[in-house]
Chain A
């Protein structure tokens, strides 16, 4: 019988490897490398990492208005009186807000859905912050909703669903221009391409 690493690795190390392995983008090999690196690192470094993780979990919440991740609720963007409240940009993930802010082209507000419709994964409209978006549209003076979901099938399905729900309210619905390559993720787009996609958005 082959002896796996779990038999020769001390239980606390194996447990950390296991936890790393659960993280997105980290396979068993990277997980072991990270764990053994920390095993050899100074105790302070390990403590700083542990503290940073705990602090992040304890001190961040979702903004009650746009659902972006924030320390203070509402978030800095929602609190900023200089932002244009007539424009609302809908994105899948908090990272997409970061990408769009980097372009410096957009001065409106955001709404983070926390995912995209994916029927096969069991992700339906009710699992996203769509009801919250519709509630916002009833009370906020939004004139244009810019749908910036990813340029893939899930993103397109989500955009089509939102357009179907929002257009009857008399609000203009636009979608980012097709400058972005099909199948890619918004968070990987460079500022120039993304800025251009924003300028060239079209009505749905």
Chain B
């Protein structure tokens, strides 16, 4: 028989109220992927757990196996990301990150790289003090989330003929899932223009780690252009808009 209790690192990416004072938590873990678990009585002010199960915390959870849902018995927060939760712009970005991860991943499919990516991205959002730098972090997240979920966009080889791309490439095809070369452009419809700087930025972000991304100085306009391309690519995969985008756009005006 399996142990009744188990322990796992987790990121809390979503929560909703159920019953008198309980909550359902959607957590992302390295070994078990995305899980829905129950936290009992945490809306009461007497709850010792409540403060340790806030949205976006990185925590070490102890869970008891339940018949339908596992139940949180202990939470030891590793990272509370205090700056993140005191700033409206950062909060809106974190909501977007959490919703993207939630919508892109199925339940119980382990992906420890995705766990590390999200943890590092939340830490960077917490740490980075300018909107411009946090936008580069977002682009890095969108790109690597696509990659790690099996939708790595084609930025090095033509999405149609697979020939190696050079600097003359200037169209992105959401349907083909990447950049198309000059020869193939006529064969695909609905392509989007892509500037050489955005092309170079996306290639650089896809090849490097988060520290490489943060070493860059990216203009807001360029981050926005790259963001537009990635949003379209994500929409192609998700087949819908994300709810948190509205709030993000509202704040950015």
Contacts and interface: CB of A to CB of B under 8 A. Distances in A.
A181 B91 contact: no
Contacts of A120: 14, 95, 98-99, 102, 243-244
A119 B45 contact: no
Interface residues of B, number: 37
Given A119-B246, A120-B99, A153-B55, A184 B50 contact: yes
Contact of B247 (A27, A124, A193): A124
Interface centre among A119, A164, A193 (most CB of B within 10 A): A119
B53 A183 contact: yes
B50 A182 contact: yes
B88 A183 contact: no
Contacts of A164: 88
B250 interface: yes
Given A153-B56, A153-B91, A183 B50 contact: yes
A181 B51 contact: yes
B47 A181 contact: yes
Interface stretch (A61-69, A137-145, A154-162): A154-162
Nearest to B52: A183
A152 B54 contact: yes
A27 B53 CA distance: 23
Contacts, number: 84
Contact of A181 (B21, B50, B86, B88): B50
A121 B243 contact: yes
Interface centre among B87, B92, B247, B250 (most CB of A within 10 A): B247
Which size class do A's interface residues fall under? 20 to 34
Interface of B: 14, 16-21, 42-47, 50-56, 85-88, 91-92, 95-96, 98-99, 102, 243-244, 246-248, 250
Interface of A: 24-25, 27, 117, 119-122, 124-125, 152-153, 156-157, 160-161, 164, 180-185, 188-190, 193
21 contacts: A24-B17, A25-B18, A25-B19, A119-B92, A119-B246, A124-B246, A124-B250, A156-B86, A157-B91, A157-B92, A160-B88, A161-B88, A164-B88, A181-B45, A182-B50, A183-B42, A183-B51, A183-B52, A183-B54, A184-B50, A188-B44
